[in-house]
Structure 1
Protein backbone atom coordinates (compact mmCIF):
# COMPACT_ATOMS: atom_id res chain seq x y z
CA UNK A 1 0.00 0.00 0.00
CA UNK A 2 2.63 2.51 1.06
CA UNK A 3 4.85 1.84 -1.95
CA UNK A 4 1.93 2.17 -4.35
CA UNK A 5 0.92 5.51 -2.80
CA UNK A 6 4.49 6.82 -3.00
CA UNK A 7 4.76 5.80 -6.64
CA UNK A 8 1.51 7.57 -7.47
CA UNK A 9 2.64 10.70 -5.66
CA UNK A 10 5.86 10.68 -7.69
CA UNK A 11 3.88 10.31 -10.93
CA UNK A 12 1.65 13.18 -9.86
CA UNK A 13 4.64 15.42 -9.14
CA UNK A 14 6.16 14.60 -12.54
CA UNK A 15 2.91 15.49 -14.33
CA UNK A 16 2.59 18.69 -12.30
CA UNK A 17 6.13 19.71 -13.24
CA UNK A 18 5.39 19.02 -16.90
CA UNK A 19 2.30 21.21 -17.04
CA UNK A 20 4.13 24.02 -15.21
CA UNK A 21 7.10 23.92 -17.59
CA UNK A 22 4.83 23.91 -20.63
CA UNK A 23 2.60 26.65 -19.14
CA UNK A 24 -0.62 24.78 -19.88
CA UNK A 25 -3.70 26.96 -19.59
CA UNK A 26 -5.15 27.17 -16.07
CA UNK A 27 -8.63 26.25 -17.29
CA UNK A 28 -7.64 23.27 -19.41
CA UNK A 29 -9.31 19.99 -18.50
CA UNK A 30 -5.93 18.23 -18.54
CA UNK A 31 -4.46 20.55 -15.90
CA UNK A 32 -7.53 20.22 -13.71
CA UNK A 33 -7.37 16.42 -14.02
CA UNK A 34 -3.70 16.31 -13.02
CA UNK A 35 -4.27 18.59 -10.02
CA UNK A 36 -7.27 16.48 -8.97
CA UNK A 37 -5.18 13.31 -9.20
CA UNK A 38 -2.57 14.86 -6.92
CA UNK A 39 -5.19 15.40 -4.24
CA UNK A 40 -6.63 11.96 -4.92
CA UNK A 41 -3.45 10.00 -4.25
CA UNK A 42 -2.91 11.79 -0.92
CA UNK A 43 -6.38 10.90 0.36
CA UNK A 44 -6.17 7.86 2.64
CA UNK A 45 -9.94 7.35 2.80
CA UNK A 46 -11.94 5.30 0.32
CA UNK A 47 -14.16 7.88 -1.39
CA UNK A 48 -17.63 6.95 -2.64
CA UNK A 49 -19.21 9.69 -4.77
CA UNK A 50 -22.86 10.01 -5.73
CA UNK A 51 -23.76 12.08 -8.77
CA UNK A 52 -26.73 12.71 -11.03
CA UNK A 53 -28.64 15.55 -12.67
CA UNK A 54 -30.72 17.78 -10.39
CA UNK A 55 -33.75 16.27 -8.67
CA UNK A 56 -32.76 12.65 -9.23
CA UNK A 57 -32.67 11.95 -5.47
CA UNK A 58 -28.92 11.57 -4.91
CA UNK A 59 -28.89 13.43 -1.56
CA UNK A 60 -31.95 11.46 -0.44
CA UNK A 61 -30.13 8.23 -1.32
CA UNK A 62 -27.09 9.29 0.70
CA UNK A 63 -29.30 10.23 3.64
CA UNK A 64 -30.91 6.79 3.43
CA UNK A 65 -27.46 5.15 3.48
CA UNK A 66 -26.51 7.28 6.50
CA UNK A 67 -29.84 6.56 8.19
CA UNK A 68 -30.71 10.17 8.98
CA UNK A 69 -31.47 13.53 7.36
CA UNK A 70 -27.87 14.65 7.23
CA UNK A 71 -27.72 16.36 3.83
CA UNK A 72 -30.07 19.06 2.47
CA UNK A 73 -32.96 17.73 0.39
CA UNK A 74 -35.89 19.64 -1.08
CA UNK A 75 -38.23 19.70 -4.05
CA UNK A 76 -35.92 22.25 -5.71
CA UNK A 77 -32.23 21.78 -6.58
CA UNK A 78 -30.25 22.36 -3.39
CA UNK A 79 -26.73 20.93 -3.25
CA UNK A 80 -24.41 23.81 -4.13
CA UNK A 81 -21.04 22.39 -3.06
CA UNK A 82 -19.08 19.17 -2.90
CA UNK A 83 -19.99 17.85 0.56
CA UNK A 84 -17.56 15.35 2.08
CA UNK A 85 -19.15 13.09 4.70
CA UNK A 86 -16.56 11.59 7.05
CA UNK A 87 -16.47 9.69 10.33
CA UNK A 88 -16.97 11.50 13.61
CA UNK A 89 -18.40 10.56 17.00
CA UNK A 90 -20.93 13.39 16.86
CA UNK A 91 -22.82 14.96 13.95
CA UNK A 92 -21.15 18.25 13.05
CA UNK A 93 -20.28 20.41 10.04
CA UNK A 94 -17.01 22.12 9.13
CA UNK A 95 -16.98 24.91 6.54
CA UNK A 96 -13.65 26.23 5.21
CA UNK A 97 -13.83 29.55 3.38
CA UNK A 98 -11.47 30.77 0.67
CA UNK A 99 -9.79 33.10 3.17
CA UNK A 100 -9.03 29.94 5.25
CA UNK A 101 -11.51 30.90 7.97
CA UNK A 102 -13.03 27.75 9.50
CA UNK A 103 -16.61 27.60 10.77
CA UNK A 104 -17.63 24.55 12.83
CA UNK A 105 -21.07 23.85 14.20
CA UNK A 106 -22.93 20.90 15.70
CA UNK A 107 -25.51 19.32 13.39
CA UNK A 108 -25.93 20.24 9.74
CA UNK A 109 -28.23 23.30 9.76
CA UNK A 110 -25.28 25.43 8.67
CA UNK A 111 -25.33 23.63 5.30
CA UNK A 112 -28.40 25.66 4.33
CA UNK A 113 -26.30 28.83 4.49
CA UNK A 114 -23.06 27.66 2.90
CA UNK A 115 -23.72 24.51 0.84
CA UNK A 116 -26.94 25.19 -1.06
CA UNK A 117 -27.59 27.13 -4.25
CA UNK A 118 -28.62 30.77 -3.99
CA UNK A 119 -31.74 32.30 -5.57
CA UNK A 120 -29.91 32.45 -8.92
CA UNK A 121 -29.00 28.72 -8.64
CA UNK A 122 -25.31 29.57 -8.20
CA UNK A 123 -22.80 28.09 -5.75
CA UNK A 124 -21.44 30.09 -2.82
CA UNK A 125 -18.17 31.58 -4.07
CA UNK A 126 -16.84 32.11 -0.52
CA UNK A 127 -16.71 28.39 0.25
CA UNK A 128 -13.53 26.37 -0.21
CA UNK A 129 -14.68 23.05 1.27
CA UNK A 130 -17.60 21.50 3.14
CA UNK A 131 -17.20 18.55 5.51
CA UNK A 132 -19.82 16.73 7.54
CA UNK A 133 -18.83 14.32 10.32
CA UNK A 134 -21.17 11.60 11.55
CA UNK A 135 -21.11 8.22 13.24
CA UNK A 136 -21.70 5.44 10.71
CA UNK A 137 -20.17 1.97 10.38
CA UNK A 138 -18.95 2.43 6.79
CA UNK A 139 -17.38 5.80 7.61
CA UNK A 140 -15.65 4.24 10.59
CA UNK A 141 -14.05 1.75 8.18
CA UNK A 142 -12.21 4.61 6.45
CA UNK A 143 -14.88 5.35 3.84
CA UNK A 144 -16.07 8.85 3.02
CA UNK A 145 -19.17 9.79 1.04
CA UNK A 146 -19.18 12.64 -1.45
CA UNK A 147 -22.43 14.42 -2.30
CA UNK A 148 -21.99 16.40 -5.51
CA UNK A 149 -24.02 19.25 -7.03
CA UNK A 150 -26.52 18.23 -9.68
CA UNK A 151 -25.30 18.19 -13.26
CA UNK A 152 -26.97 19.53 -16.42
CA UNK A 153 -27.71 22.94 -14.92
CA UNK A 154 -24.68 25.28 -15.03
CA UNK A 155 -21.21 24.81 -16.48
CA UNK A 156 -19.57 25.76 -13.18
CA UNK A 157 -21.31 22.93 -11.36
CA UNK A 158 -20.51 20.52 -14.17
CA UNK A 159 -16.78 21.35 -13.95
CA UNK A 160 -16.76 20.82 -10.20
CA UNK A 161 -18.50 17.45 -10.53
CA UNK A 162 -16.20 16.30 -13.31
CA UNK A 163 -13.10 17.22 -11.28
CA UNK A 164 -14.36 15.51 -8.13
CA UNK A 165 -15.31 12.29 -9.91
CA UNK A 166 -11.64 11.79 -10.74
CA UNK A 167 -10.82 11.79 -7.01
CA UNK A 168 -13.35 9.08 -6.13
CA UNK A 169 -12.77 5.34 -5.76
CA UNK A 170 -16.33 4.17 -6.37
CA UNK A 171 -19.07 6.07 -8.19
CA UNK A 172 -22.82 5.75 -7.79
CA UNK A 173 -24.68 7.30 -10.71
CA UNK A 174 -28.34 7.77 -9.84
CA UNK A 175 -30.78 7.12 -12.69
CA UNK A 176 -34.37 8.40 -12.77
CA UNK A 177 -36.77 5.58 -13.72
CA UNK A 178 -39.23 8.17 -15.06
CA UNK A 179 -36.71 9.33 -17.71
CA UNK A 180 -34.37 6.38 -18.14
CA UNK A 181 -30.93 7.59 -19.27
CA UNK A 182 -30.91 10.63 -21.53
CA UNK A 183 -28.35 11.01 -24.30
CA UNK A 184 -26.53 13.62 -22.21
CA UNK A 185 -26.32 11.24 -19.24
CA UNK A 186 -24.87 8.52 -21.45
CA UNK A 187 -22.34 10.95 -22.91
CA UNK A 188 -21.34 12.04 -19.39
CA UNK A 189 -20.97 8.41 -18.38
CA UNK A 190 -18.63 7.83 -21.30
CA UNK A 191 -16.69 11.13 -21.30
CA UNK A 192 -16.56 11.91 -17.56
CA UNK A 193 -16.06 8.35 -16.34
CA UNK A 194 -15.03 5.55 -18.69
CA UNK A 195 -12.74 7.61 -20.94
CA UNK A 196 -10.89 8.88 -17.85
CA UNK A 197 -10.21 5.44 -16.39
CA UNK A 198 -13.11 5.62 -13.92
CA UNK A 199 -14.75 2.24 -14.32
CA UNK A 200 -15.75 1.31 -10.77
CA UNK A 201 -19.30 2.54 -11.31
CA UNK A 202 -22.68 1.44 -10.01
CA UNK A 203 -25.99 2.61 -11.44
CA UNK A 204 -28.81 3.04 -8.92
CA UNK A 205 -32.30 3.42 -10.32
CA UNK A 206 -34.60 5.65 -8.26
CA UNK A 207 -38.37 6.28 -8.51
CA UNK A 208 -39.13 2.81 -9.88
CA UNK A 209 -41.85 2.53 -7.22
CA UNK A 210 -43.87 5.18 -9.09
CA UNK A 211 -44.57 2.72 -11.92
CA UNK A 212 -47.08 -0.13 -11.98
CA UNK A 213 -45.59 -3.62 -11.36
CA UNK A 214 -45.43 -4.63 -15.05
CA UNK A 215 -44.01 -1.25 -16.04
CA UNK A 216 -41.38 -1.63 -13.31
CA UNK A 217 -40.23 -4.87 -14.92
CA UNK A 218 -40.09 -3.28 -18.38
CA UNK A 219 -38.13 -0.23 -17.18
CA UNK A 220 -35.70 -2.37 -15.18
CA UNK A 221 -35.12 -4.65 -18.17
CA UNK A 222 -34.28 -1.68 -20.39
CA UNK A 223 -31.91 -0.24 -17.80
CA UNK A 224 -30.31 -3.66 -17.33
CA UNK A 225 -29.45 -3.58 -21.04
CA UNK A 226 -27.96 -0.06 -20.70
CA UNK A 227 -25.96 -1.03 -17.59
CA UNK A 228 -24.48 -4.10 -19.29
CA UNK A 229 -23.35 -2.00 -22.25
CA UNK A 230 -21.11 0.11 -19.96
CA UNK A 231 -19.19 -2.85 -18.52
CA UNK A 232 -18.23 -1.40 -15.15
CA UNK A 233 -15.26 -3.09 -13.45
CA UNK A 234 -16.43 -4.49 -10.11
CA UNK A 235 -15.47 -7.56 -8.05
CA UNK A 236 -16.68 -10.82 -9.55
CA UNK A 237 -20.32 -11.65 -8.90
CA UNK A 238 -21.55 -8.09 -8.33
CA UNK A 239 -24.04 -6.27 -10.50
CA UNK A 240 -23.55 -2.68 -11.64
CA UNK A 241 -27.30 -1.95 -11.42
CA UNK A 242 -29.41 -1.73 -8.25
CA UNK A 243 -32.95 -0.58 -7.64
CA UNK A 244 -33.40 1.72 -4.62
CA UNK A 245 -36.51 3.79 -3.99
CA UNK A 246 -34.65 6.49 -2.10
CA UNK A 247 -37.46 8.31 -0.29
CA UNK A 248 -39.20 5.15 1.02
CA UNK A 249 -35.76 3.87 2.03
CA UNK A 250 -35.07 7.01 4.05
CA UNK A 251 -38.52 6.92 5.64
CA UNK A 252 -38.00 3.28 6.58
CA UNK A 253 -34.62 4.08 8.17
CA UNK A 254 -36.04 7.01 10.14
CA UNK A 255 -38.97 4.89 11.42
CA UNK A 256 -36.81 1.84 12.08
CA UNK A 257 -39.03 -0.15 9.70
CA UNK A 258 -36.74 -2.88 8.35
CA UNK A 259 -39.44 -4.28 6.09
CA UNK A 260 -39.83 -0.96 4.30
CA UNK A 261 -36.07 -0.64 3.98
CA UNK A 262 -35.95 -4.15 2.51
CA UNK A 263 -38.77 -3.42 0.04
CA UNK A 264 -37.05 -0.21 -1.10
CA UNK A 265 -34.00 -2.17 -2.27
CA UNK A 266 -31.60 -0.30 0.04
CA UNK A 267 -30.55 -3.38 2.03
CA UNK A 268 -29.29 -5.11 -1.12
CA UNK A 269 -27.28 -2.03 -2.14
CA UNK A 270 -25.82 -1.62 1.37
CA UNK A 271 -24.70 -5.25 1.43
CA UNK A 272 -23.10 -4.98 -2.03
CA UNK A 273 -21.34 -1.71 -1.19
CA UNK A 274 -19.82 -3.08 1.99
CA UNK A 275 -18.33 -6.11 0.21
CA UNK A 276 -17.19 -4.16 -2.86
CA UNK A 277 -15.49 -1.51 -0.71
CA UNK A 278 -13.69 -4.09 1.42
CA UNK A 279 -12.39 -5.93 -1.65
CA UNK A 280 -11.34 -2.78 -3.49
CA UNK A 281 -9.55 -1.41 -0.43
CA UNK A 282 -7.57 -4.64 -0.24
CA UNK A 283 -6.64 -4.72 -3.93
CA UNK A 284 -5.82 -1.00 -4.42
CA UNK A 285 -5.35 -1.43 -8.19
CA UNK A 286 -7.98 1.05 -9.34
CA UNK A 287 -5.97 4.14 -8.36
CA UNK A 288 -2.99 3.02 -10.43
CA UNK A 289 -5.29 2.35 -13.42
CA UNK A 290 -6.72 5.87 -13.05
CA UNK A 291 -3.24 7.40 -13.17
CA UNK A 292 -2.22 5.28 -16.15
CA UNK A 293 -5.25 6.49 -18.11
CA UNK A 294 -4.59 10.19 -17.40
CA UNK A 295 -0.87 9.72 -18.08
CA UNK A 296 -1.65 8.28 -21.52
CA UNK A 297 -3.94 11.22 -22.23
CA UNK A 298 -1.33 13.73 -21.07
CA UNK A 299 1.37 12.15 -23.27
CA UNK A 300 -0.83 12.72 -26.30
CA UNK A 301 -1.59 16.33 -25.41
CA UNK A 302 1.66 17.62 -23.88
Structure 2
Protein backbone atom coordinates (compact mmCIF):
# COMPACT_ATOMS: atom_id res chain seq x y z
CA UNK A 1 0.00 0.00 0.00
CA UNK A 2 0.98 3.67 -0.30
CA UNK A 3 1.65 5.63 2.88
CA UNK A 4 3.33 8.79 4.08
CA UNK A 5 6.39 7.74 6.07
CA UNK A 6 8.59 9.83 8.38
CA UNK A 7 12.14 8.55 8.70
CA UNK A 8 13.36 11.62 10.56
CA UNK A 9 11.88 14.55 12.47
CA UNK A 10 11.79 17.97 10.89
CA UNK A 11 9.81 20.16 8.50
CA UNK A 12 7.09 19.12 6.06
CA UNK A 13 9.75 17.75 3.71
CA UNK A 14 10.19 14.69 5.96
CA UNK A 15 6.73 13.47 4.90
CA UNK A 16 7.58 11.09 2.05
CA UNK A 17 5.29 8.84 0.01
CA UNK A 18 6.43 5.19 0.07
CA UNK A 19 5.17 1.70 -0.71
CA UNK A 20 4.94 -0.29 2.53
CA UNK A 21 3.36 -3.51 3.75
CA UNK A 22 -0.28 -3.50 4.75
CA UNK A 23 -0.75 -3.26 8.53
CA UNK A 24 -1.64 -6.42 10.42
CA UNK A 25 -4.68 -5.88 12.69
CA UNK A 26 -4.00 -6.76 16.30
CA UNK A 27 -6.38 -8.09 18.90
CA UNK A 28 -9.61 -6.11 18.91
CA UNK A 29 -8.73 -4.30 15.67
CA UNK A 30 -10.14 -4.24 12.14
CA UNK A 31 -8.52 -3.17 8.89
CA UNK A 32 -9.99 -0.18 7.06
CA UNK A 33 -9.61 0.90 3.46
CA UNK A 34 -8.97 4.61 4.01
CA UNK A 35 -10.79 7.25 1.95
CA UNK A 36 -9.82 10.44 3.78
CA UNK A 37 -7.18 11.08 6.43
CA UNK A 38 -7.58 14.10 8.68
CA UNK A 39 -4.64 16.49 9.09
CA UNK A 40 -4.34 17.99 12.58
CA UNK A 41 -1.98 20.27 14.44
CA UNK A 42 -1.05 17.27 16.56
CA UNK A 43 0.55 15.86 13.40
CA UNK A 44 2.77 18.96 13.25
CA UNK A 45 3.93 18.22 16.81
CA UNK A 46 4.60 14.60 15.84
CA UNK A 47 6.63 15.70 12.84
CA UNK A 48 8.69 18.06 14.99
CA UNK A 49 9.12 15.54 17.84
CA UNK A 50 7.20 17.73 20.32
CA UNK A 51 4.10 15.54 20.64
CA UNK A 52 2.83 14.51 24.08
CA UNK A 53 3.43 10.84 23.28
CA UNK A 54 6.87 10.15 21.71
CA UNK A 55 6.87 8.16 18.46
CA UNK A 56 9.47 5.79 17.07
CA UNK A 57 10.79 6.18 13.53
CA UNK A 58 9.98 5.19 10.87
CA UNK A 59 6.45 6.40 11.53
CA UNK A 60 3.23 6.90 9.57
CA UNK A 61 1.39 9.93 11.00
CA UNK A 62 -2.35 10.54 11.11
CA UNK A 63 -4.86 10.04 13.93
CA UNK A 64 -8.28 10.16 12.27
CA UNK A 65 -9.68 8.65 9.08
CA UNK A 66 -12.81 7.97 7.13
CA UNK A 67 -12.73 4.48 5.66
CA UNK A 68 -14.60 1.32 4.77
CA UNK A 69 -14.69 -1.83 6.93
CA UNK A 70 -14.24 -5.37 5.54
CA UNK A 71 -18.05 -5.77 5.54
CA UNK A 72 -18.58 -2.55 3.60
CA UNK A 73 -19.58 -0.11 6.35
CA UNK A 74 -18.51 3.51 6.00
CA UNK A 75 -16.93 4.64 9.28
CA UNK A 76 -14.97 7.45 10.86
CA UNK A 77 -12.23 6.27 13.19
CA UNK A 78 -9.57 7.36 15.63
CA UNK A 79 -6.13 5.87 15.19
CA UNK A 80 -2.91 6.15 17.12
CA UNK A 81 -0.77 6.91 14.10
CA UNK A 82 -0.97 5.21 10.71
CA UNK A 83 -3.73 7.36 9.22
CA UNK A 84 -1.80 8.83 6.28
CA UNK A 85 -2.10 5.58 4.33
CA UNK A 86 -4.36 3.56 2.05
CA UNK A 87 -5.09 1.09 4.86
CA UNK A 88 -5.01 1.34 8.65
CA UNK A 89 -5.80 -0.93 11.59
CA UNK A 90 -8.23 0.62 14.09
CA UNK A 91 -9.72 -0.55 17.37
CA UNK A 92 -13.28 -1.84 17.22
CA UNK A 93 -14.33 0.61 19.95
CA UNK A 94 -12.83 3.65 18.18
CA UNK A 95 -14.74 3.63 14.91
CA UNK A 96 -18.30 4.74 14.31
CA UNK A 97 -20.59 4.06 11.36
CA UNK A 98 -21.36 7.26 9.47
CA UNK A 99 -25.07 8.03 8.99
CA UNK A 100 -26.32 8.27 5.41
CA UNK A 101 -27.02 12.00 5.78
CA UNK A 102 -23.37 12.80 6.67
CA UNK A 103 -20.75 12.89 3.89
CA UNK A 104 -17.15 11.69 4.12
CA UNK A 105 -15.96 15.31 4.13
CA UNK A 106 -18.35 16.20 6.94
CA UNK A 107 -17.38 13.13 8.98
CA UNK A 108 -13.58 13.34 8.85
CA UNK A 109 -13.23 16.19 11.41
CA UNK A 110 -15.64 14.66 13.91
CA UNK A 111 -13.63 11.85 15.49
CA UNK A 112 -10.66 13.89 16.69
CA UNK A 113 -11.52 17.58 16.36
CA UNK A 114 -15.24 17.20 16.95
CA UNK A 115 -14.77 15.04 20.04
CA UNK A 116 -12.07 17.41 21.29
CA UNK A 117 -14.33 20.46 20.92
CA UNK A 118 -17.29 18.65 22.52
CA UNK A 119 -15.39 17.38 25.57
CA UNK A 120 -13.40 20.59 26.05
CA UNK A 121 -16.66 22.51 26.32
CA UNK A 122 -18.93 20.09 28.16
CA UNK A 123 -16.67 17.68 30.07
CA UNK A 124 -13.75 19.94 31.02
CA UNK A 125 -14.96 23.57 30.98
CA UNK A 126 -18.55 22.46 31.76
CA UNK A 127 -20.10 25.49 30.09
CA UNK A 128 -23.77 26.25 30.68
CA UNK A 129 -26.40 28.43 29.07
CA UNK A 130 -25.80 32.15 29.55
CA UNK A 131 -22.08 31.88 30.32
CA UNK A 132 -19.40 33.73 28.38
CA UNK A 133 -16.70 31.51 26.88
CA UNK A 134 -13.50 32.31 24.99
CA UNK A 135 -12.62 30.10 22.03
CA UNK A 136 -9.17 30.48 20.41
CA UNK A 137 -8.24 29.76 16.77
CA UNK A 138 -11.95 30.14 16.12
CA UNK A 139 -11.62 29.61 12.37
CA UNK A 140 -9.54 26.43 12.75
CA UNK A 141 -10.59 22.80 12.93
CA UNK A 142 -11.38 22.53 16.66
CA UNK A 143 -12.21 26.20 17.08
CA UNK A 144 -14.80 26.43 14.30
CA UNK A 145 -16.65 23.44 15.76
CA UNK A 146 -16.36 24.72 19.34
CA UNK A 147 -17.84 28.10 18.38
CA UNK A 148 -20.91 26.40 16.97
CA UNK A 149 -21.31 23.87 19.77
CA UNK A 150 -21.01 26.53 22.47
CA UNK A 151 -23.47 28.79 20.66
CA UNK A 152 -25.95 25.89 20.33
CA UNK A 153 -25.65 25.35 24.09
CA UNK A 154 -26.69 28.95 24.76
CA UNK A 155 -23.28 30.33 25.72
CA UNK A 156 -22.03 33.72 24.58
CA UNK A 157 -18.94 33.04 22.47
CA UNK A 158 -15.96 35.42 22.38
CA UNK A 159 -13.91 34.16 19.46
CA UNK A 160 -10.18 34.75 19.01
CA UNK A 161 -8.69 34.88 15.50
CA UNK A 162 -5.67 36.49 13.89
CA UNK A 163 -7.11 37.99 10.68
CA UNK A 164 -10.24 39.98 9.74
CA UNK A 165 -11.35 37.14 7.46
CA UNK A 166 -11.10 34.57 10.24
CA UNK A 167 -12.92 36.84 12.68
CA UNK A 168 -15.71 37.34 10.14
CA UNK A 169 -16.03 33.57 9.75
CA UNK A 170 -16.26 33.13 13.52
CA UNK A 171 -19.11 35.64 13.65
CA UNK A 172 -20.89 33.81 10.82
CA UNK A 173 -20.57 30.57 12.82
CA UNK A 174 -22.31 32.09 15.83
CA UNK A 175 -19.76 34.01 17.90
CA UNK A 176 -21.16 37.07 19.65
CA UNK A 177 -17.84 38.90 19.25
CA UNK A 178 -14.50 38.27 17.57
CA UNK A 179 -11.22 39.56 19.01
CA UNK A 180 -7.88 40.08 17.26
CA UNK A 181 -5.43 37.56 18.72
CA UNK A 182 -2.45 38.47 16.53
CA UNK A 183 -1.00 40.74 19.25
CA UNK A 184 -0.65 39.10 22.67
CA UNK A 185 -0.18 42.38 24.51
CA UNK A 186 -3.47 43.65 25.90
CA UNK A 187 -5.41 40.54 24.83
CA UNK A 188 -7.14 40.17 28.22
CA UNK A 189 -8.41 43.74 28.03
CA UNK A 190 -9.70 43.22 24.48
CA UNK A 191 -11.51 40.04 25.58
CA UNK A 192 -13.18 41.84 28.50
CA UNK A 193 -14.16 44.77 26.27
CA UNK A 194 -15.77 42.39 23.76
CA UNK A 195 -17.51 40.38 26.49
CA UNK A 196 -18.65 43.35 28.54
CA UNK A 197 -16.69 42.08 31.53
CA UNK A 198 -14.93 38.95 32.73
CA UNK A 199 -15.70 35.57 31.15
CA UNK A 200 -16.69 32.40 32.98
CA UNK A 201 -14.79 29.89 30.83
CA UNK A 202 -12.06 29.75 28.20
CA UNK A 203 -10.30 27.24 25.99
CA UNK A 204 -6.57 27.75 25.40
CA UNK A 205 -4.15 26.15 22.93
CA UNK A 206 -1.45 28.76 22.21
CA UNK A 207 0.70 28.84 25.34
CA UNK A 208 3.18 31.52 26.36
CA UNK A 209 1.85 35.03 27.08
CA UNK A 210 -1.49 34.17 25.44
CA UNK A 211 -2.23 31.68 28.21
CA UNK A 212 -1.59 34.34 30.86
CA UNK A 213 -3.73 36.91 29.04
CA UNK A 214 -6.60 34.43 28.70
CA UNK A 215 -6.27 33.52 32.38
CA UNK A 216 -6.46 37.20 33.32
CA UNK A 217 -9.75 37.57 31.46
CA UNK A 218 -11.47 34.96 33.63
CA UNK A 219 -13.97 35.87 36.30
CA UNK A 220 -13.61 34.55 39.87
CA UNK A 221 -14.32 30.79 39.86
CA UNK A 222 -13.67 30.72 36.13
CA UNK A 223 -12.49 27.60 34.26
CA UNK A 224 -9.62 27.34 31.81
CA UNK A 225 -9.32 24.23 29.59
CA UNK A 226 -5.82 23.89 28.12
CA UNK A 227 -5.36 21.60 25.11
CA UNK A 228 -2.17 22.68 23.37
CA UNK A 229 0.79 25.02 23.03
CA UNK A 230 0.78 25.85 19.32
CA UNK A 231 3.25 28.70 19.81
CA UNK A 232 5.81 26.20 21.10
CA UNK A 233 6.15 28.23 24.30
CA UNK A 234 5.37 26.37 27.50
CA UNK A 235 4.69 28.51 30.54
CA UNK A 236 3.97 28.17 34.25
CA UNK A 237 0.53 28.98 35.62
CA UNK A 238 0.62 31.62 38.41
CA UNK A 239 -0.60 29.88 41.55
CA UNK A 240 -1.31 33.23 43.26
CA UNK A 241 -3.85 34.11 40.56
CA UNK A 242 -5.52 30.70 40.81
CA UNK A 243 -5.88 31.02 44.58
CA UNK A 244 -6.95 34.65 44.59
CA UNK A 245 -9.69 34.12 41.98
CA UNK A 246 -10.49 30.45 42.75
CA UNK A 247 -9.80 29.58 39.10
CA UNK A 248 -9.72 26.00 37.85
CA UNK A 249 -7.19 25.07 35.16
CA UNK A 250 -7.55 21.67 33.50
CA UNK A 251 -5.43 20.00 30.86
CA UNK A 252 -7.05 17.92 28.11
CA UNK A 253 -5.72 15.30 25.70
CA UNK A 254 -8.35 13.28 23.83
CA UNK A 255 -6.49 9.91 23.88
CA UNK A 256 -7.06 9.79 27.65
CA UNK A 257 -10.73 9.12 26.84
CA UNK A 258 -10.13 6.26 24.40
CA UNK A 259 -10.47 3.58 27.08
CA UNK A 260 -12.62 5.52 29.57
CA UNK A 261 -15.94 3.76 29.99
CA UNK A 262 -17.30 6.57 32.20
CA UNK A 263 -16.98 9.14 29.39
CA UNK A 264 -17.85 7.12 26.30
CA UNK A 265 -17.00 8.75 23.00
CA UNK A 266 -20.02 6.99 21.53
CA UNK A 267 -22.31 9.55 23.19
CA UNK A 268 -20.40 12.58 21.94
CA UNK A 269 -20.17 11.07 18.43
CA UNK A 270 -23.95 10.60 18.34
CA UNK A 271 -24.44 14.22 19.37
CA UNK A 272 -22.04 15.38 16.66
CA UNK A 273 -23.58 13.20 13.94
CA UNK A 274 -27.06 14.45 14.88
CA UNK A 275 -25.93 18.08 14.73
CA UNK A 276 -24.35 17.62 11.30
CA UNK A 277 -27.35 15.71 10.02
CA UNK A 278 -29.87 18.36 11.07
CA UNK A 279 -27.71 21.17 9.70
CA UNK A 280 -26.91 22.87 13.01
CA UNK A 281 -23.19 22.02 12.83
CA UNK A 282 -21.37 23.24 9.74
CA UNK A 283 -18.04 21.83 8.59
CA UNK A 284 -15.47 24.40 7.47
CA UNK A 285 -13.21 22.77 4.88
CA UNK A 286 -9.67 24.06 4.51
CA UNK A 287 -8.82 21.86 1.55
CA UNK A 288 -8.32 18.26 0.48
CA UNK A 289 -4.93 17.20 -0.91
CA UNK A 290 -3.82 14.00 -2.66
CA UNK A 291 -1.99 11.65 -0.30
CA UNK A 292 1.34 12.41 -1.98
CA UNK A 293 0.89 16.11 -1.14
CA UNK A 294 0.90 15.66 2.64
CA UNK A 295 3.81 18.11 2.89
CA UNK A 296 1.73 20.77 1.09
CA UNK A 297 -1.12 20.20 3.55
CA UNK A 298 1.30 20.69 6.46
CA UNK A 299 2.67 23.86 4.87
CA UNK A 300 -0.88 25.22 4.65
CA UNK A 301 -1.49 24.32 8.29
CA UNK A 302 1.80 25.89 9.39
CA UNK A 303 1.12 29.13 7.53
CA UNK A 304 -2.04 29.76 9.59
CA UNK A 305 -3.59 31.31 6.47
CA UNK A 306 -6.22 28.62 5.96
CA UNK A 307 -9.43 27.95 7.83
CA UNK A 308 -11.21 24.80 8.92
CA UNK A 309 -10.29 21.21 8.20
CA UNK A 310 -7.44 19.93 6.01
CA UNK A 311 -7.51 16.34 4.83
CA UNK A 312 -5.71 13.89 2.53
CA UNK A 313 -7.50 11.91 -0.18
CA UNK A 314 -5.80 8.50 -0.06
CA UNK A 315 -7.45 7.41 -3.31
CA UNK A 316 -5.48 9.99 -5.33
TM-score by length of 1: 0.29
Please state which structure has a larger fraction of its residues in strand. Answer: 2
Q: Which has the higher contact order (CA 8 A, sep 6+)?
A: 1
